[in-house]
Structure 1
Amino acid sequence: MAPHPIAPEELNALLLDWYDRHRRRLPWRAPPGGRAEPYHVWLSEIMLQQTTVATVGPYFRRFIDLWPTVRDLAAADLDAVLHAWQGLGYYARARNLHKCAQAVTERHGGVFPDTEEALLALPGIGAYTAAAIAAIAFDQPATPADGNFERVFARLYAVETPLPQAKPALRALAAALTPAHRPGDHAQAVMDLGATICTPRSPKCMACPWHEPCAARRLGIAGELPRKTPKKQKPTRRGIAFWAVTQDGSVLLRRRPESGLLGGMMEVPSSAWIEAETTLPAVAGEAPVKGAWRMLPGLVRHTFTHFHLELTVAAASVSQQPVADGVWVPLDRLGEHALPTVMKKVVTHALAQAGKDASGPGARSRLSSLP
């Protein structure tokens, strides 16, 4: 780790001066000199996990339109929240978002607590999010060390230890530089610096307020940091989705268990997702209803955080009957249900391949019902 010659106070002054001139305008961000709304900060931070600012903007506005306060969100139906969340992925965030809104309403009278400790006690709020809310919404000297922080401080101090091993050291360096004056603006300034100047590839060093003191820039290795430990190859899991359609054109959906991947979301019922090759005879017992199942051509592929998924689709015309956790949905009303992206892919594939004979003419046009 290479030292830098400038004192923390001067580093912070350089950064805040740059931020005052170049801060991003974001729908959840307070105007200069204003205090951010804690509900907006919390909502945006949850949405921004694993998602880009450009993607989050419209979702944030939609949520604020639907549920202007945390009390409104707490009173909302979970299915409505999951439906509004479609496309953001990582649906456990949406379930925890709803639980957290209820906890804030029930435990704190609809007012977010202003300390990291109290924020950490709420559902779905981890160390980073608690620090971000405390700093940005309440101007507490907290350090929300996200990927932008890690990249900026790895370069500022030329930390060559690869991630994730370097995370504790980088957080300590960032915390040591967190000021008592304007800590919220400092946190957002580092985020903006990482997002617009100190980018993962081709950092714009000449435009950086920390150009002079940056140790990695002086050593000519800014673009190489932070180093990362090579990721393990993701395994591939496989399964068969069961596209069950009635004569009147209703399709069977099933709610997944609340816990686990895609918990609480609606799905086209499928066999277990396993790494071994899957055949229809081998998983026939997992079909949700009895029918003359036939395999459709083609494959649906999707990638989750920890594995790739390959689904083939079996289709059958069946009689409508009760199914545990299941619901029969007319094709033109599929868009009313909270379907995760992988299941939208299954629906699209099934309609394209089986629509003509299993769903009636014009099935392709029903794709427009999916948001």
Structure 2
Amino acid sequence: MYELSKEVEEYQAKVREYSQTVVKDYAKHMDETNDGGEKIVQDMGQRGLLGMKIPPSFGGLGLGETAFAIATEELGAESGGASHSLHTQLNALQLLLSVGGDSAKDWIEAGNKGKEIYAVALTEPAAGSDLGAFQTTAKPDGNELLINGEKIFTSAGSFSTKMVVLARTSGNVGDKQGVSLLLIDSKTPGVEVHKLDLMGIRGAGVSYVKFNNARVPKDSIIGKEGDAYKGAIKALMVSRNGYAGIAVGIARGSLDEAVNRANARKQFGKALIDQEWIGFNLADAFIKVEAARLLTMRAAYLFDKGKEALSEASMAKYYAATVSAEISRLALHIYGGHGLTRGSKVERLYRDSKVMEIAEGTNEMQLMGVSRMLRKQ
């Protein structure tokens, strides 16, 4: 069981108010235009709501992974794209902190305030979930580095000011040594950015990025050259639980819409919720949302206690993603023909939910992680 501190409860109330006012009104715009995630990051930075899991010594709020899970749920209940934009910024900050430490302090502090918006360029067309198979290189050329390669599904790529890039500075593909983390200007000559037209989490700036002899200073390397792999993997594993939070939010938002519709809509002389199959399905959905949240908060609680809760995060991410897809489909079904209308909230959340089963490690990858844990017992 977990218990929220007074500080985290106050933070939750602030984020919920922001989500139910600004994000609620803005979500449709993000979805229709496939743009606008930068506003979420800038707004939250200006309101002092970013950096919730970053230590105060780095300009953060120091509220931990629990607050991060809460924030992603609250935004996710209104917009997967908005919550994903928040997640990307915190993912980048966690990478900078994990790999760079004190050397990245200024960049982390700027990111906490929303003054810098970071894209995370890790995944490649031929690598996918196998992060170690990436092929992007950053080779020395005098006092500079020449970056060549491709990145796909680069979150915030289309509106970022800086990119956090994983590249090989030495060694061969598959080696864990020789991997470096770079922080570069998004407008660097030789960096081509093409925004992707995804079915869900629209507006989050997810892009294809090509590096064609992009020339950057050697001091673009964050932390120790060639020694970023372990820190990057650790940061990414922890951030997975934030994605579970997004999925819980989508499930909760879908359930809220379905319950409101079922109470308001009458058929055959009584409210839809009084039709037994609908009432029972909504009750089942409510239980599943609560269970998904408990799994997510348990993993966050363990991370905050310094535990290596990777299996717990995988369980949370898998279950929350599965539940979000199931409940958003139920909400769409309860809305009937109105739910099929492009631009309705349930239709948007339904599309957002599918992304949850793929992004930040597919459902199958989460099951693989849990199965490894079972083999050790």
Report the TM range for the smaller structure's normalisation: under 0.3
Q: If each structure's strand is expressed as a fraction of its own residues, which one has the higher value? A: 2
| Relative contact order higher in (CA < 8 Å, ≥ 6 apart) | 2
The alignment's TM-score, normalised by the length of structure 1, stands at 0.26
